[in-house]
């Protein structure tokens, strides 16, 4: 079997082909967009790529052509010799990747997500990019009010921000200048776009059986369910809830090296996709907020457990602990194809000693 290593670029990519003995058969440079057609004309080989924005599309094309595909994590390529001795260029990188592929039968590879998972992730990313731009524009408009001595207006009400902004400026006897009005018009357009994105995400989550199942859990909505499902992609990849928690980076780290015999635990590792942790964190705070005025008897079992943690360690640590538990619960729901059952959760947590047993009088 030949080994085809491709150093991907946004426009052009460098290719190095070696035979099983490690001899270079051919080196070529092709447009990245034409790599699918190029690989379709090659005999079955091992295609080695470095993880990047274009990697998964090329990996799909290589798999369609019948090749074995390895997508090496970008953080490990330097350990494999890419960029060794401070010399790094496309030709040397492709040669080194192909050389390593010939010498190592088992190369570390990342999971290649399905096209559906990548589409879900793109939908969430585009919506969140619009929200970030809207936040920046709102802050810019608010800062203009302060420079004019008008005072910051209050939030809330049924009106949109541009409507409240114009009314606030008019009530102070001033007019909105043209440059500020352009920002307000951009905000109005963004509000419409974000509303359409919310509808799209809600429909995508409702039409998907996995996301619909995950949304039966407290605090989980369309965005968090789509984020979680796209991150795991295939639940059979994980053998336990702890694997999922470690994959999402919500387990505590450890720094116990050296002569000290004491085990030193650190904060969560924050491995994996930060946007998934952000969505689960929002879900955890929602659970805590919705249950803060309830009694222990009517409170959701996860919220009751988190409230006990909050009494000992504080609200922030309790929220992160709830994120970890929620990620494991969602995994179990997906694995067993069962909706969230608070009674089952309460019994399981009582048996584990996580929630106090109800008193019998």
Token reading at 219 = 């605090």
Nearest-10 Cα torsion for 129, 132, 138, 139: -150
**195-253 pLDDT, tens per residue?**
999 999 999 999 999 999 999 999 999 999 999 999 999 999 999 999 999 999 999 99
What residue segments make up the domains of the chain, in order of their start? 2-103, 115-207, 212-254+267-351
C-beta neighbour count of 355 within 10 angstroms: 21
Token reading at 206 = 């409702």
Q: How confident is the model at residue 345 (pLDDT cuts 50, 70, 90)?
A: confident
Average pLDDT over residues 143-148: 92
Q: Reduce the DSSP state of residue 26 to 3 states and report it.
A: strand
| HSE-up (13 A, CA, CB side) for residue 143 | 7
Cα separation, 44 vs 63, in Å, equals 10
Residue 254, C-beta contacts closer than 8 angstroms, at least 6 positions apart = 263, 264, 265, 266
C-beta neighbour count of 232 within 10 angstroms: 23
DSSP assignment of 187-234, as one string? Answer: HHHHHHHHHHHHHHHHHHHHH-HHHHHHTTSTT--HHHHHHHHHHHS-
Q: Sign of dihedral through CA atoms 228, 234, 236, 238? A: negative
Q: How confident is the model at residue 285 (pLDDT cuts 50, 70, 90)?
A: very high
Of residues 222, 246, 244, the one with CA closest to residue 329: 244
Residue 207, C-beta contacts closer than 8 angstroms, at least 6 positions apart = none
Q: In this predicted structure, what is the pLDDT of residue 356?
A: 53
* Helix or strand holding residue 48 (H, E): strand 45-50
CATH superfamily ID and name for 2-103: ATPase, nucleotide binding domain (3.30.420.40)
2-7 vs 45-50, strand pairing mode: parallel
**55-80 pLDDT, tens per residue?**
999 999 999 999 999 999 988 888 88
Q: In this predicted structure, what is the pLDDT of residue 298?
A: 79
Q: In this predicted structure, what is the pLDDT of residue 153?
A: 82
Q: In this predicted structure, what is the pLDDT of residue 256?
A: 79
Is pLDDT above 90 for 43?
Answer: yes
Q: Is the pLDDT higher at 342 or at 191?
A: 191
Q: How confident is the model at residue 359 (pLDDT cuts 50, 70, 90)?
A: very low
């Amino acid at each position: 079997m030949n080994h085809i290593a491709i150093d991907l670029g946004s426009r052009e990519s460098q290719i190095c082909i070696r035979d099983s003995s490690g001899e270079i058969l051919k080196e070529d440079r092709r447009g990245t967009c034409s790599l699918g057609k190029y690989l379709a004309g090659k005999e079955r080989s091992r295609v080695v790529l470095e993880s990047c924005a274009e990697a998964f599309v090329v990996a799909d094309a290589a798999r369609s052509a019948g090749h074995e595909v390895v997508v090496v994590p970008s953080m490990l390529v330097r350990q494999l010799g890419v960029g060794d001795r401070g010399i790094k260029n496309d030709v040397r990188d492709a040669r080194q990747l192909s050389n390593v592929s010939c010498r190592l039968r088992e190369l570390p590879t990342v999971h290649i997500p399905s096209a559906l998972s990548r589409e879900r992730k793109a939908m969430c990313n585009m919506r969140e990019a619009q929200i970030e731009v809207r936040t920046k524009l709102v802050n810019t408009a608010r800062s203009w009010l302060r420079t004019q001595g008008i005072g910051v207006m209050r939030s809330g009400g049924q009106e949109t921000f541009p409507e409240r902004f114009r009314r606030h400026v008019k009530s102070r006897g001033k007019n909105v200048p043209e440059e500020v009005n352009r920002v307000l018009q951009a905000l109005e357009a963004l509000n419409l776009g974000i509303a359409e994105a919310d509808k799209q995400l809600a429909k995508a989550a409702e039409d998907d059986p996995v996301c619909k199942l995950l949304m039966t859990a407290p605090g989980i909505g369309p965005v968090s369910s789509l984020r979680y499902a796209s991150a795991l992609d295939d639940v059979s990849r994980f053998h336990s809830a702890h694997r999922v928690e470690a994959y999402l980076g919500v387990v505590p780290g450890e720094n116990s090296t050296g002569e000290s015999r004491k085990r030193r635990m650190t904060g969560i590792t924050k491995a994996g996709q930060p946007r998934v942790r952000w969505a689960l964190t929002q879900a955890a705070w929602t659970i805590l907020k919705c249950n803060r005025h309830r009694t222990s008897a009517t409170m959701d079992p996860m919220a009751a457990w988190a409230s006990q943690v909050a009494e000992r360690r504080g609200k922030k640590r309790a929220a992160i602990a709830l994120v970890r538990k929620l990620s494991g619960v969602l995994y179990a729901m997906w694995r067993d194809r069962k909706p969230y059952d608070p009674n089952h959760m309460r019994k399981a947590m009582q048996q584990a000693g996580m929630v106090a047993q109800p008193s019998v009088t």
